[in-house]
Structure 1
Amino acid sequence: MIDGEPVPASRPRFSSLGGKKRGYTDKKYRIYKNGIKTLYWDKYHNKQLFKKGVPLVAHIRFYRRIQKGLSKAEHKRRANHEVKPTVKPDLDNYEKAIFDGLAKAWFDDGQIWKHDTEKNYDEHPRTEILIEEWTK
């Protein structure tokens, strides 16, 4: 589990300083991805949990913060997961951020052949992740 607001992967940005083009990654995304890497290091010491070629299944739940300024009834509906977020960021960008942060867990994130992913609203923003080997 990763506590805090989920952050989607961002595309590289480019700037020109002194006539030279330079690429960089959004700071918020970079901090989030590095935080995931740190959590993985703390728990598994960068051990590769899944061998090359092993098909994996990813179960991921993203819980976004409930917006302020809603009626009590609407807030309750979102807290009970009756209303689903249908706004940006896209679900695949959230996933990409997780897969980038967990790169040490497997040989290649191409091993994930199936994913079961949702985004919801919640009073406690977080990301819940379960990656497992596919069994027949």
Structure 2
Amino acid sequence: MKIQGKMFIWLSVFILVMACVYGVWSKEPAGTTALFLAFGLSIMIGFYLGFTARRVDTGAQDNKEADVADDAGELGFFSPHSWQPLALGFGGALAFAGVAIGWWLLYFPAPLIVIGVWGWVFEYYRGENRTQ
């Protein structure tokens, strides 16, 4: 994870330099803002990966003498099926359409987004897995 964190930090430095050069040369605010936002996203991911790498065991990708088989095994729990992302996708698409068409359209996807988020957060707290 250290390597990925360093890669994102170097990427963010590159994006910052390119954002400054682009902003000075083009004087175009939309692209310059997009590049600065990309810098912010890249630095957040790099900081998170570097921060997390200090708290977890060293992975095979951080060992220069590791084999491919050293990284085999269970990576975590992933939900086998879930309908909640579909509801959030439809709700998000309608919400962004509401920004483009008119703010009144946001009244329709708001319940769909709330139901999708609620269902996704509490997906495994139903039935026998429910806390008492």
Q: What's the TM-score, normalizing by structure 2?
A: 0.29
TM-score, normalising length from structure 1?
Answer: 0.28
Which structure shows the higher strand fraction?
1
* Higher-Rg member (1/2): 2
Determine which structure has the larger helix proportion and give its number: 2
